[in-house]
Structure 1
Amino acid sequence: MAPKQTPGQADDPCTNSVVQFDTYPLEHVYRLVEPDPVLLVATGSLHEVTHNIMAIGFHMMMQHESPPLIDITLGPWDTSFALLQKYRTCVLAIPSVEMASDVVDIGNCSAADADADGDKWKRFALEARPIQQVATLLIAGPHILANIECVVEDTAFVRKYAMWALRPVKAWTRRGEPGTIFHHRGQGIMVTDGEVIDLSQRMVEWQEFLD
C-alpha cells in the first residue's frame, strides 16, 4: 500500500526524501545568499566638506579582473546617493566585528535627518584621511581593516535597481594581525567568520585565482 500523502505532498518531491525541506518566504531569500561583509561607504569631498559615511550590506563582486568590478546597492533614499552621482567616486571600508555596534548606529543615522548630531566622523571616532586617487577619502580607525578606492564604472542599472558598478583603483589593508569581519543575515542578526577550511590545493581548475 502506498503511503498516505498529505495535501500538496504530491507536488513537492522534497517531502518524499530522507532529507526534507520547508518552503521559505521569497521576500527573505536575501538572508540565505548574503555572505559578503558589512561595509562602510564614504562619499563626497573632504576638500569641499561634503563627505558622508554610511553602512551597507548589499554588494557583490561582479568581475575578478580586467578590470575588477564591485556592485553596491545605493538608492535615492540614501543621502550618499546624490554625492555618488555628483562626484562619481567613493571608498568602501571593511570594519572588524569590534565595531559592529557602531556600524549599525552609523546605518541608523542620516546626514539628512533634522535631528542629526552633525559630525558622524567625530561621533564614531573615525578619521577622514585625504587621498589622491579619488575625490573621496580613506576611512581610518582602530577597527577598520581595509579601504578600497573606487570610481563609478557603469550606471546602467542605477535607475531600475539602484545598483552601481564600481571599479577599484587602489586598495589598502591594515598592517598587523588581520581582524574578523562580520556579515548581516537580516533582522539585525550578524555572524562572524568562523573556522578556516583551506581547500586551495583541490582547486585545480582555478589556479589563476590563487596567490
Structure 2
Amino acid sequence: MRRYRKFDYPVEDVRRFLEPGPIVLVSAAWKGQRNVMTLGWHMVLEFTPSRLATMIARGNHSFELIRRSGECVINLPTAEMLDTVVGIGNCSGAVIDKFDRFGLETVAASEVAAPLLSQCHASFECRLVDRSQIARQGLFIWEVVKAHVARVPKLPRTVHYRGDGQFMVSGAEVSRRRLFKPEML
C-alpha cells in the first residue's frame, strides 16, 4: 500500500478534499415566488427515514423561501448541465427568473409545492424536520418524502465541486460488495 509524504495545507481549503458529494439544484416555492439555487453543502444523515441536511447561507434568495415553506426539492443534475449549474449559482433569483433564464422545465411535485426539474436525473421532495440549526448555522434538516429517479443511465455522471472553480465528474463504479457484511450494506 502506498504511503504519502504530507505537507502543511491551508485549513480553509480542506473542503476541496472533503466535499465529494454531487452538486445539486435546490428548487423552492413560497407564496407565489419560486427559485432554484446551486448547492454543494449537503450530507446524508439517516437511511430510514431518509434524512438529509443542507447548509444554505442566509444571504441566498432561496433561504427565506425554504425556511418559510419548510420544504424544497433537491434535484440531481448531470455533467451535461455543468455550465447551467454554474450559471444558476452565479446569479440571484431576487433579480431574475432562473427557470426562464436557463430554460429549466418544471414538473409539479406530488408532496411539496416546490417544482421538480425535468432536466435533472433525480428529484427528491423534502420536508423540513428540524429547524434547530437554521438560525445559528444555516443548517436545514430534511426528510425525503418522495423520490423520483430516471432508470437510465443507471449511474449518472454527476459533478462534484472541488473549490476554486474546479469540478470532478463521477467515474466508473467500483464494487467491494463481497467484502461487506450483509447488515452493513
Structure 1 residue 177: Cα displacement: 2.1
Please give the residue correspondences for 1:12-161 in structure 2 after superposition, counting only pairs within 5 Å: 19-45=4-30, 48-65=31-48, 67-113=49-95, 118-141=96-119, 144-161=120-137
For residues 184 and 75 of structure 2, the distance between their equivalents in structure 1, rounded to whole angstroms, comes to 23
- For residues 189 and 131 of structure 1, do their structure 2 counterparts lie closer, same or farther at Cα, with a shift above 3 Å needed? same
Report if the CA contact (8 A) 2:109-2:125 is conserved. Answer: no
TM-score (norm 2): 0.92
Number of corresponding residues: 182
| Partners of 2:99 and 2:184 in 1: CA distance | 36
Give the number of the structure whose residues are more often strand, by fraction. Answer: 2
Is the partner of 2:85 in helix, strand or coil? helix
1:171: how far off?
Answer: 0.3
Match in the other structure for 2:166:
189
CA offsets per residue over residues 76-103 of structure 1, 9 Å max, x none? 1101111011110000000000010110
TM-score, normalization by structure 1: 0.81
Where in structure 2 are there 5+ consecutive unaligned residues?
A: none
Report the equivalent of 2:144: 168
Instruction: Output one character per residue of 1:117-155: Cα deviation in whole Å (capped at 9) or x when no partner.
Output: x321122121121123112121112xx110000000101
The structure showing larger relative contact order (alpha-carbon pairs under 8 Å, at least 6 residues apart) is: 2
- Please say which of residues 78-87 and 124-133 is displaced more in the overlay: 124-133
2:129 alignment partner, SS class: strand
**Matches of 1:19 and 1:171 in 2, distance apart?**
41
Q: 1:145 and 1:165 mapped to 2: Cα distance?
A: 23
Q: Specify the structure having the higher radius of gyration (Cα).
A: 1
Looking at structure 2, the residues matched to 27 and 136 of structure 1 have their Cα atoms a distance apart, in angstroms, of 34
Q: Aligned partner of 1:159: which letter?
A: A
Aligned-partner Cα distance in 1 for 2:72–2:4: 46
Distance 1:34 1:175 in 2: 26
Letter in 2 for 1:99: M
1:209 Cα deviation (Å)?
5.6
In structure 1, C-alpha distance between the alignment counterparts of 2:72 and 2:11, rounded to whole Å: 32
4+ residue runs over 6 A deviation: none
- Percent of residue pairs identical: 31
Indicate the RMSD between aligned Cα atoms, in angstroms.
Answer: 1.5
Q: CA deviation at 1:159?
A: 1.6
| Structure 1, gaps ≥5 residues long | 1-17
State the SS of the aligned residue for 1:44: strand
